[in-house]
Amino acid sequence: MTSDNDRRGGLLARLRGRPAARSRGRRRLGAAVRLIAALTLAGGAYTVFAPGVQAQENPPLTGAAAEGKALFDVSCVTCHGRNAQGVEGRGPSLVGVGSASVEFQVGSGRMPMARQEAQAMRKPPVFTDEQVRQLGQYIQELGGGPQVPAGNDLHRNADMAAGGELFRINCSQCHAFGGGGGALSSGKYAPSLKPASDRQIYAAMLSGPQNMPVFGDNQITPEQKADIIAYIQETLKHDQDQGGFNLGRYGPSTEGLAIFLIGIVALVFASLWIAGKS
């Protein structure tokens, strides 16, 4: 087990080295990348409509997807298997999960996992955004699946109030009213929404990572998703704590702690002083 980890660690270290060496070239070829992105979109659309494409041994891959496959074959293949077919007892098949899932899992650092646990934790991401996109493209072309729309700001002109209503019906039971997350059964938990970007929230809703239910576009429309994201980003995260320090927004638990640790302690010190011999 340890040797396995070591080997993976070594690979990751190598991977981290690579993008730095290539970044200059990529910058110069900015236009080319945009072209590739357009191509990958087209490719993605193609894979969705091409039946049985995952069954083929060597599907034709676009440039970005080929890069993604290269990354996949070094970093993910151990658990998710050749061509992302999954390995029994180690990792599920990724065929058909779509780039949304990759974007969420890899983009938030949850994948690659350090070890098998009840739940993957958010960590500093191992891959750059570009690499995540390439990986996503690869998975997308393998078996299709949900995709996050383009752009980093997915909640422009959205309706915060409608988003709040939807948030309370669909999200707050696990992620809590304040978005701070909460416990699930047997060591699992719903993570805090604080570090999540627009794209990650969108991807999570689309793909239903781990134990989160799937909220597909048929159930919550893209407009409604934008509303929810607007509510999370603008209301919950933009620090709307009107009443002072929010005590972590853990609700009455920390409020109770505060009254003893601050209120009672301060007043006991005051009474010690008042009644003390002068």
Q: What is the distance between the alpha carbons of residues 136 and 139, in angstroms, rounded to a whole number?
A: 5
The alpha-carbon radius of gyration of the chain (Å, integer) is 23
Q: By CB under 8 A, is residue 176 in contact with another protein? A: yes
Token pair, residue 144, equals 């299709």
Stretch that binds another protein, among 10-18, 100-108, 128-136, 258-266 (CB under 8 A): 258-266
Query: Which CB atom, from 32 or from 262, has the smaller least distance to another protein?
Result: 262
| Distance of closest approach, residue 224 Cβ to another protein, in angstroms | 10
Q: How many residues of this chain bind another protein (CB under 8 A)?
A: 78
Q: By CB under 8 A, is residue 201 in contact with another protein? A: no
Token pair, residue 81, equals 């298997």
Please indicate if the annotation marks 238 as binding a ligand: no
Q: By CB under 8 A, is residue 202 in contact with another protein? A: no
Q: What is the rounded end-to-end Cα distance, in angstroms, of the chain?
A: 67
Q: How far is CA 195 from CA 9, 65, 116, 138, in A?
A: 25, 28, 23, 26
Within residues 259-278, the interface with another protein by CB under 8 A covers 259-260, 262-264, 266-268, 270-278
The answer to whether 169 and 177 are in contact (CB under 8 A) is no
In 76-128, which ranges are continuous DSSP H helix?
77-80, 98-107
Stretch that binds another protein, among 20-28, 44-52, 105-113, 246-254 (CB under 8 A): 246-254
Query: Which CB atom, from 28 or from 238, has the smaller least distance to another protein?
Result: 238
Q: By CB under 8 A, is residue 93 in contact with another protein? A: no
DSSP letters spanning 135-186: HHHHHHHHH----PPSSS---TT--HHHHHHHHHHHTHHHH-TTS--EE-GG
Query: Which CB atom, from 52 or from 244, has the smaller least distance to another protein?
Result: 244
Token pair, residue 98, equals 């779509």
Query: Which CB atom, from 68 or from 164, has the smaller least distance to another protein?
Result: 164
Q: Which residues have C-beta within 8 Å of that of residue 264, sequence separation ≥ 6?
A: none
Please indicate if the annotation marks 79 as binding a ligand: yes
Query: Which CB atom, from 130 or from 234, has the smaller least distance to another protein?
Result: 234
Stretch that binds another protein, among 27-35, 56-64, 76-84, 227-235 (CB under 8 A): 227-235
Q: By CB under 8 A, is residue 178 in contact with another protein? A: yes
Q: What is the distance between the alpha carbons of residues 220 and 202, in angstroms, rounded to a whole number?
A: 11
25-64 footprint of another protein as x/- string (CB under 8 A) = ----------------------------------------
| Distance of closest approach, residue 81 Cβ to another protein, in angstroms | 19
Q: What is the distance between the alpha carbons of residues 50 and 140, in angstroms, rounded to a whole number?
A: 12
The answer to whether 139 and 94 are in contact (CB under 8 A) is yes
| Distance of closest approach, residue 42 Cβ to another protein, in angstroms | 25
| Distance of closest approach, residue 98 Cβ to another protein, in angstroms | 12
Would you list which residues are annotated within the binding site? Answer: 76, 79-80, 171, 174-175
